[in-house]
Amino acid sequence: MKQARPVASEPRLEIAHPLIGEEEKRAVLAVLESGQLAQGPVVAAFEDAFARWLGVKHAVAVASGTAGLHLALLAHGIGEGDEVVTAPFTFIASANSVLFARATPVFADVQAGNFCIDPARVEVAITPRTRAILPVHLYGHPAPMAELGEIARRHGLLLIEDACQAHGATVHGRKVGALGHTAVFSLYPTKNMTSGEGGFVTTDDPAIASAIRTLRQHGEGERYHHEVLGYNFRMTDVAAAIGLAQLARLDGFNAARRHHAQILSAGLAGAAGLAVPGESSSYGHVYHQYTVRVEAGRDGLRKRLDARGIGTGVYYPIPIHHQPVYVERGYGGQSFPTAERLAQEVLSLPVHPALSDADLQRIVRSVREELAG
Ligand SMILES: *Cc1c(COP(=O)(O)O)cnc(C)c1O
């Protein structure tokens, strides 16, 4: 009997696929054989290499992006009674880090066109208690940093970038992570580069870098002299070995992501009921995610693609102010219409560097066929 769709022979395409090669394996083995597994010389080498790649004076390695955001806020002295303006449409860690610092997240809605925080909404969210703006470069698209920088200057606020999804993204040719006072990157396996788990806090300010180094190591100045309440948020040399090898490949990974996004956008342009992500000449997008908006029936489309062996993602199905942990803190009655609408419409398609051009054509064909019914 003939099958309706000859898909059985086609491999499944996952939404993320970290590329770990011989260089990563060799580097990890060398660390294992060195006998020094925790934070040591490989972490220090990774910090130097990342700072050089980004073009900042200091990159401090930490255990995760979440730990980095938490420490960045603490290092800037943000705490009880302070407000930090951030987006309600992002990974939960962006806002949670403010709660970890015992400060108050204040949400400002995002722009539908680029999924990032809307400067006009930021402006009206500022109060006398506001200390910082925490924009997120969501999906690898830079937040509107020129406008946000101007607002921060005018109100005397800190600008702390959540660059966890945006290694290599640029604004007017300048890399994000070097545009505010301090920035944070994640090295989780789905991100544009990985160390397994890990993160970086980047800054040109030596006092902030020094505070992060103290806080990640139990608040220790001199050995066993604990000056402030600190944490164990160190990166291991095992992780740093993976990360160093990945950093050498990052620009190539990003070029592949951009090439893949072009194929998807060319193939999907004009598809009824679907909007492809926008790109403008001022912003260098690194497509951590390739995210379309589906006018209606997003979840059904997602199921049908899954049945055809195409994994997709919904980042994020619930805006932060509607998450139970925030409803419990009194945010449930607030309204951020764009974030709420995007949570219903967004669908991320595979764009990672392990895909072939033929895989991408298959994704385009499948989405078009399933949209048509
Ligand atoms: C991944 C991510 C984080 C947290 O990074 P982890 O390394 O997973 O702790 C924070 N913010 C955003 C926007 C992220 O995507």
Let me know how long the chain is: 373
Measured in Å, residue 64 CA sits from the centre of ligand 1 at 8
Question: Looking at the predicted structure, is the pLDDT value of residue 175 above 50?
Answer: yes
Measured in Å, residue 105 CA sits from the centre of ligand 1 at 17
Q: What is the pLDDT of residue 280?
A: 84
339 within 8 A of 293, measured Cβ to Cβ: no
Distances, alpha carbon 130 to alpha carbons 107, 282, 315, 318, in Å: 12, 29, 28, 25
Q: What is the average per-residue pLDDT within 4-25?
A: 85
Question: Looking at the predicted structure, is the pLDDT value of residue 170 above 90?
Answer: yes
Query: What is the percent of the chain where pLDDT is above 90?
Result: 95
Q: What is the pLDDT of residue 2?
A: 45
**Of all atoms in ligand 1, which is nearest to the CA of residue 288?**
15
Q: What is the pLDDT of residue 5?
A: 56
Measured in Å, residue 210 CA sits from the centre of ligand 1 at 22
**Of all atoms in ligand 1, which is nearest to the CA of residue 198?**
7
Angle at the Cα of 169 (from 179 to 282), degrees rounded to 5? 80
Q: What is the pTM of this model?
A: 0.97
Question: Looking at the predicted structure, is the pLDDT value of residue 169 above 50?
Answer: yes
DSSP string for 54-67 = HT-SEEEEES-HHH
Q: What is the average per-residue pLDDT within 11-25?
A: 97
Q: What is the average per-residue pLDDT within 57-69?
A: 98
Q: Which of 115, 188, 286, 314 to mutate to test the pocket of ligand 1 (most atoms within 8 A of CB)?
A: 188
Measured in Å, residue 86 CA sits from the centre of ligand 1 at 14
**Of all atoms in ligand 1, which is nearest to the CA of residue 186?**
7
pLDDT in tens, 322-342: 999 999 999 999 999 999 999
Q: What is the average per-residue pLDDT within 118-136?
A: 98
- The amino acid at residue 238 is V
Measured in Å, residue 165 CA sits from the centre of ligand 1 at 7
DSSP SS3 for 340: helix
Confidence band for 1, pLDDT divided at 50, 70 and 90: very low
Q: What whole-number distance in Å separates Cα of residue 33 and Cα of residue 329?
A: 48
**Of all atoms in ligand 1, which is nearest to the CA of residue 66?**
9
Question: Looking at the predicted structure, is the pLDDT value of residue 115 above 80?
Answer: yes
pLDDT in tens, 203-236: 999 999 999 999 999 999 889 999 999 999 999 9
Q: What is the pLDDT of residue 55?
A: 98
What mean pLDDT is reported for the chain?
A: 96
Distances, alpha carbon 194 to alpha carbons 149, 191, 342, in Å: 29, 6, 27
pLDDT in tens, 337-367: 999 999 999 999 999 999 999 999 999 999 9
Where does ligand 1 bind, in terms of residues with CB under 6 Å? Answer: 64-66, 90-91, 93-94, 136, 162, 164-165, 186, 188, 199
Measured in Å, residue 4 CA sits from the centre of ligand 1 at 41
Q: Which of 91, 184, 194 to mutate to test the pocket of ligand 1 (most atoms within 8 A of CB)?
A: 91
Identify the residue whose C-alpha is closest to ligand 1 atom 6: 65
pLDDT in tens, 140-152: 999 999 999 999 9
Confidence band for 267, pLDDT divided at 50, 70 and 90: very high
Confidence band for 7, pLDDT divided at 50, 70 and 90: low
255 within 8 A of 273, measured Cβ to Cβ: no
Residues 6+ apart with CB under 8 A from 154: none
Q: What is the pLDDT of residue 53?
A: 98
Q: Which of 15, 66, 92, 134 to mutate to test the pocket of ligand 1 (most atoms within 8 A of CB)?
A: 66
Measured in Å, residue 189 CA sits from the centre of ligand 1 at 11
Q: What is the pLDDT of residue 279?
A: 84
Domains in the chain: ranges and CATH:
22-244 (3.40.640.10), 250-372 (3.90.1150.10)
Q: Which of 164, 192, 286 to mutate to test the pocket of ligand 1 (most atoms within 8 A of CB)?
A: 164
Confidence band for 8, pLDDT divided at 50, 70 and 90: low
